[in-house]
Structure 1
Amino acid sequence: MFHRIRRRAKEPSEEQRRFFELSARLQTQVPPGIGVPPTEVVDDFLPPELRVPSHDQVDGTIMPWKQPLVLDGEMVACAECGTYRDWLILSTRGQIWLRCRAGHQQQETRLDTAWFNRNSGPADATHATFEDCLRHLGH
């Protein structure tokens, strides 16, 4: 009995024969559109009014930081007025600057752009001037 089953298995079935014949016919055929240059190039980019400027097209980015900023176990305070919360953190030209509510600015060398990128959210607006950005953020 097993001998008979093995003998039948050596011969291809009808479905296998049809598959082999079909695949032999299709091997010389090329699907339509393959090897033919596209007739029309489609612009898949967003329209200009929806595009976000790249990092080299902006002078910097700003994020608000309402809570106190603690670096190396020390709370950062404004060097001029002593304010320790409600900062604007500016990232520009590889430097990080802190701006208090009174408008005093100081460079913070303990922070870098990697820290800024990890802690900032997505940009919600772009502005032509620094003053427009400050108005947008309520400063």
Structure 2
Amino acid sequence: MKHAGRGAEVEEDARVFHRIRRRAKEPSEAQRQFAELHAQLQGQVPPGFGVPAPEPPSVEPAAVVDDFLPPELRVPSHDQIEGKMMPWKQPLVLDGELAACIECGAYRDWLILSTRGEIWLRCRAGHQQLETRIDTAWYNRHSGPADLTHANFEDCLRHLGH
């Protein structure tokens, strides 16, 4: 009996699908309206289509201005300076070790110099050593904004009290 009932269901499904297919073959109301509108507009050209565009009015070129900031307010770019330096008063611990001057043993009151992608430490006595455990990114994270630009290294040392 199950087979007989199942066969009736299959026949009913086939009739439903046949009706759906028949409706899909016929155009919908929206499709008929679109076809009528398309037939009415066929051959019409929008106004101004195919007519050359008018020439734009001539505009005088803007005056070239050197820069909007006066020279005393301009900040030099990175390629115009030799390097940067900042004071570091407290002891400097790198990779769990206290950084100390290799010549005099000083371990605080450093000047940290960043130049050409290298970091140098300078102690109060004027000894300098390359520091490979820190990089330019570390320097940039720990330094504040520059307050002055100096013409030479000695002027910068005097400004920072060294």
State TM-score, norm by structure 2: 0.60
Tell me which amino acid in the other structure corresponds to 1:69: L
**Aligned to 1:122, what secondary structure does the other structure show?**
coil
> What is the aligned-residue identity percentage?
82
Which amino acid is the alignment partner of residue 150 of structure 2? H
Q: Work out whether 1:65 is the aligned partner of 2:97.
A: no
2:125 to 97, 102, 123: 102
Q: What aligned pairs does 1:59-138 form with structure 2 within 5 A after superposition?
A: 59-138=82-161
Structure 2 alignment gaps of length 5 or more? 1-57
Higher relative helix content: 2
3-state secondary structure, aligned to 1:89 = strand
* Larger Cα-atom Rg: 2
Q: Secondary structure at the match of 1:134?
A: helix
Give the aligned length: 106
What stretches of structure 1 move > 2 A for 4+ residues in a row? 35-45
The two structures, once aligned, show a CA RMSD in angstroms of: 1.8
Query: In structure 2, what is the equivalent of residue 54 of structure 1?
Result: 77
Q: Deviations over 1:6-63 (max 9, x none)?
A: xxxxxxxxxxxxxxxxxxxxxxxxxxxxx95664556663211111111100110000
